[in-house]
Structure 1
């Protein structure tokens, strides 16, 4: 509890991450109420619904009609979301070659070897 008696607020990004973690573990789309129950926190009814609507608008979630509302599912897993963010950042830069060069030079030796292996593997499958 905060000094004024209210529950301490967690950063918004942490709540979004918790919502996504619940959806990644789910075997089927979930309603905002199911997600709120899984969070186990005392949240306003609209808080989870707003987060879900924003993630849907960003293309992070899909939704299907469930009664009068919607049920939501993640489009991709955590690795897929990170890869998408990396791709979008790369697409913004006019000097993609320079960005890639700096990215690769900043990798640990192990990560660089893994990237080389993955590139070779991808090239062989084409």
Structure 2
């Protein structure tokens, strides 16, 4: 999958094989089997090109990582403790990335929520003198 994600385009078994052979000896049939297994599992789609296939990732590497984390977290008998332990393992850069991600997910509306929760002047007056607005309007 790393090679397929790296190129971010449909790839052939031959392309993956040649790239891997720069690092180690590996057989064509091994690469073909792995890509076929990834296709059967739904991680890549393939399209016939002559007698071969071109393989393309179904999801991004980030989506794959997120799915793994979600799966691991959902299997925990104590999700809060698992998160605390996970956050404790993070480097400062990772914690900053997490904070940035939370801000992105929350969006601008959520970031304004604490200010929106404060009572407006009319609400504050009504909270200080409950019933005074009703008394004035009801009589």
Q: Give the aligned CA root-mean-square deviation in angstroms.
A: 2.6
Deviations 1:5-37 (A, max 9, x none): xxxxxxxxxxxxxxx343223353122123223
Taking structure 2 as the reference length, the TM-score comes to 0.60
- Of 6, 12, 17, 1:31 maps to 12
Poorly superposed stretches of 4+, deviation over 6 Å: none
Unaligned runs of 5+ in 2: 110-139
Distance 1:38 1:62 in 2: 20
Aligned to 2:63: 80
- 1:119 CA displacement: 0.7
Unaligned runs of 5+ in 1: 1-19
Q: Which structure is higher in helix share?
A: 2
Deviations 1:91-119 (A, max 9, x none): 22232222112212332334223312321
Give the secondary structure class of the aligned counterpart of 1:73: strand
Taking structure 1 as the reference length, the TM-score comes to 0.65
Distance 2:8 2:65 in 1: 21
- Of 72, 77, 82, 1:94 maps to 77
- Aligned residues, how many? 107
- 1:123 CA displacement: 0.5
Rg: which structure is higher?
A: 2
Aligned to 1:56: 39
Return closer, same or farther for 1:67/1:125 CA change in 2, 3 Å cut-off: farther
